[in-house]
């Protein structure tokens, strides 16, 4: 009953009159750390009788009209001098990406925004096909077409639409941000946005890509292996198997999000750092954003990586150049910043893997091994376990949380 009441309260506050919401579409085929490059938008206003559409358009028009001078994340300087509205989704943590988007939009249009809804364009296309909702997701007037199509939808078909939207929320293909603290808390608790918040004694893994060339590489397989030692320390090995689409060479910047203070020991498969244009931002009156790597301490890591902190996580940033149709494997070896807490000879391990932002689900394989004298008792959900080996395989259709229990000989 409490959940039902909370939902009613949320809906009542969400639809309270005179609120402006920005609804934006991104293209995951143009990979960007927070989902993809932003493409189209609609600004709607809540009224007593429903929604009023205040306007819609393309983000390239907002890019051209931008008068806000903010130093972009360093990799972005490869393709343009300023940080543009279409590039707002730079952070894995959606709340921070959404704040950036709101700042760009309000300063460019001079219109107030109370909240943001960001949608994967491929998700909308599949919604149109699956639910027979006919509209053009590529049009600047996409929201008008969607609204008219939904108005024609029979009441008997709304249940299946709700189920499809729920899967979109779980996969972070539809995400929300609200300035209102109560609404934002409800969205967080409902897992309607990707949040970097996590328990510091747990393992975490998030892969984000910025495509700065001809098309984004497909992440064909993620392999993650941990080795548990007698003192409870954990060594991790990560392999990312990539394929560049046929059509042109790719220049990509990868942000690999790990537990804060993870010690990276080895890195393979990354390319030398791209030679970036030099520009005197201070002389041109640009302001900096302390949230990006340029505003924090950046250390040099193995294999040409840049190591920096971002919202409670350690990020390994590296360049990857791939020719048309080429394959490559990125590998990291690192020591987790914590040891398994042991109680009555038992040590618990927890891992959260964020679903990568790409249209297809990513195959994922997890392996846990341990030294002699340590047995793996369980691996949930649905893990295969022998005496000192555990394995989990699946497709990352949404975030995955794994839990393992190790038994230490005393």
Average pLDDT, the chain: 90
In a domain, residue 195? The reply is no
Q: Which residues pair with 316 in a beta bridge?
A: 256, 307
Whether 242 and 101 share a structural domain:
no
Whether 38 and 123 share a structural domain:
yes
Q: Residue 297 has what pLDDT?
A: 65
Whether 134 and 31 share a structural domain:
yes
Q: Residue 361 has what pLDDT?
A: 92
The model's pLDDT over 51-68, given as tens digits with 9 standing for 90+, comes to 889 999 999 999 999 989
In a domain, residue 197? The reply is no
The model's pLDDT over 84-137, given as tens digits with 9 standing for 90+, comes to 999 999 999 999 999 999 999 999 999 999 999 999 999 989 888 877 777 888
Q: Which domain holds residue 385?
A: 203-408
Q: Residue 345 has what pLDDT?
A: 86
Question: Among 189, 222, 257, which residue terminates a domain?
Answer: 189
In a domain, residue 120? The reply is yes
Q: Residue 293 has what pLDDT?
A: 59
pTM value is: 0.92
**Structural domain tally of the chain?**
2
Q: Residue 191 has what pLDDT?
A: 86
In a domain, residue 194? The reply is no
Whether 384 and 261 share a structural domain:
yes
In a domain, residue 305? The reply is yes
In this predicted structure, the answer to whether residue 294 has a pLDDT above a threshold of 70 is: no
Residue bearing the bigger pLDDT, 160 or 370: 370
């Amino acid at each position: 009953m409490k959940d039902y009441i909370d939902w009613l309260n949320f809906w009542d506050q969400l639809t309270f009159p005179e609120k402006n919401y920005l609804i934006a579409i991104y293209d995951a085929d143009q990979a960007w750390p927070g989902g993809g490059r932003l493409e189209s938008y609609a600004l709607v206003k809540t009224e007593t009788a429903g929604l009023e559409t205040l306007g819609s358009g393309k983000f390239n028009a907002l890019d051209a009209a931008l008068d806000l001078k903010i130093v972009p994340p360093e990799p972005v300087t490869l393709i343009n001098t300023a940080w543009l509205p279409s590039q707002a989704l730079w952070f894995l943590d959606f709340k921070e990406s959404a704040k950036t988007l709101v700042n760009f939009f309000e300063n460019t249009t001079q219109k107030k925004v109370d909240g943001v809804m960001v949608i994967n364009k491929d998700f909308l296309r599949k919604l149109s096909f699956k639910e027979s909702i006919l509209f053009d997701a590529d049009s600047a007037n996409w929201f008008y077409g969607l609204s008219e199509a939904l108005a024609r939808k029979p009441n008997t078909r709304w249940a299946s639409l709700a189920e499809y939207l729920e899967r979109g929320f779980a996969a972070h293909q539809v995400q929300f941000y609200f300035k209102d603290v109560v609404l934002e808390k409800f969205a967080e608790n409902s897992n309607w946005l990707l949040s970097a918040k996590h328990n510091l004694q747990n393992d975490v893994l998030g892969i984000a890509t910025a495509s700065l060339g001809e098309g984004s590489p497909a992440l064909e397989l993620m392999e993650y292996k941990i080795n548990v030692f007698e003192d409870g320390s954990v060594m991790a090995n990560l392999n990312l198997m990539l394929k560049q689409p046929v059509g042109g060479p790719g220049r990509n910047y990868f942000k690999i999000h790990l537990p804060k203070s993870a010690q990276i020991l080895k890195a393979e498969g990354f390319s030398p750092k791209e030679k970036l244009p030099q520009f005197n931002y201070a002389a041109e009156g640009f302001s900096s954003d302390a949230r990006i790597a340029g505003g924090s301490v950046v250390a040099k890591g193995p294999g040409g990586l840049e190591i920096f902190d971002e919202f409670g996580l350690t990020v390994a940033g590296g360049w990857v150049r791939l020719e048309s149709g080429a394959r490559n494997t990125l590998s990291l070896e690192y020591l987790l910043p914590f040891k398994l807490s042991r109680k009555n000879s038992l040590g618990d391990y927890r891992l959260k893997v964020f679903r990568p932002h790409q249209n297809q689900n990513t195959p994922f394989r997890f392996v846990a091994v341990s030294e002699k004298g340590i047995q793996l008792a369980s691996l949930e959900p649905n893990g295969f376990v022998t005496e000192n080996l555990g394995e989990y395989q699946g497709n990352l259709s949404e975030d995955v949380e794994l839990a393992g229990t190790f038994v230490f000989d005393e």
